[in-house]
Structure 1
Amino acid sequence: MNDAALSNLAIELGAALKARGYTLALAESCTGGMAAQAVTSIAGSSAWFDRGFVTYSNQAKVEMLGVSSQTLEKYGAVSEQAAREMALGAINNSQAQIAGSITGIAGPDGGTLEKPVGAVCFAWAEKNTPISTITLHFSGSREEIRQQATIAMMMGLLDRLNRSAAKPLQN
């Protein structure tokens, strides 16, 4: 996906957030702020993007997002459990109504048999809605893996927003 396609995805995400009156928070590790950069490259994104947390180290995840050190010890930073706590921390430490988190191994080193290079864990959280998580496996260079993870985050947010929009309003 090229820069124009990524920009179009960010525009679509912004429109979906604005239509719901939502703001977004992001918690990123392996992407190093790439998702936040993609959304803030859109003029007017301050209307729907609240903040981003780049928590590359485990200590930053604990301090900024409230990720449990026990979670990091038991499951590791690259786990759906850590991604879940990152997304929850992003939503709890912001004004946003929806948050997404990314944590993974972009490579070229750092992979293991259980968690190979390209393994990326995601979570999406909305206030008063169950958190969803997924682990995806990407291939390519470090930059390509980071780009694919950014795209997957934005597509996951759009999917979640579109599903919540389809639910009937309850009184």
Structure 2
Amino acid sequence: MKTKRRKGFTLMELVFATAAGTIVIVAAGIIMFVGHTSWNRAWRKVNLQRDAAYAMFIISRSIREGTSAKLENDGRELWLYTDEGWMRFHVVLGADKLQLKCEKEIETTAQNLVTILDDKVEDLQFNVEGNKVTIALKLNKDGMQTHSVSTVMMRNYGG
């Protein structure tokens, strides 16, 4: 006697196909999640390094214009004198985080205070030797850290 073969899938075939499809979808989701997390982490690191480069650029450009410099507060504060006036670079505590500030008194403008970096500064250290000023800046945000060191020469150094 012949038995008729029914068309369609058995219950076990459907269960295995569903399980295999679920595994593929979950694996793809995990790969996308890990990739997204890694991308965000790298992007935060790049942004922190960009902020450090910006701060170093602002400070270095000002130092190049300087005629003399002096340190205060164990090297954490730089007084920079130019032909037009003075500038002071320092770190202040604000909102439980350190902020890098630039205070200026230039002939053409009144004394003002400019925030260069906000809520990222871990440490700032200056060293002055003759016409050379060394800057060491550490930034920290969201578990990311960057450390920049630069030596800049004052072009208008008066001795």
**Which category of TM-score, normalised to the shorter sequence, fits these structures?**
under 0.3
Q: Which has the higher strand share?
A: 2
The structure, 1 or 2, with the larger RCO (C-alpha pairs under 8 Å, 6+ apart) is: 1
Structure showing greater radius of gyration is 2
TM-score (norm 2): 0.27
TM-score (norm 1): 0.25
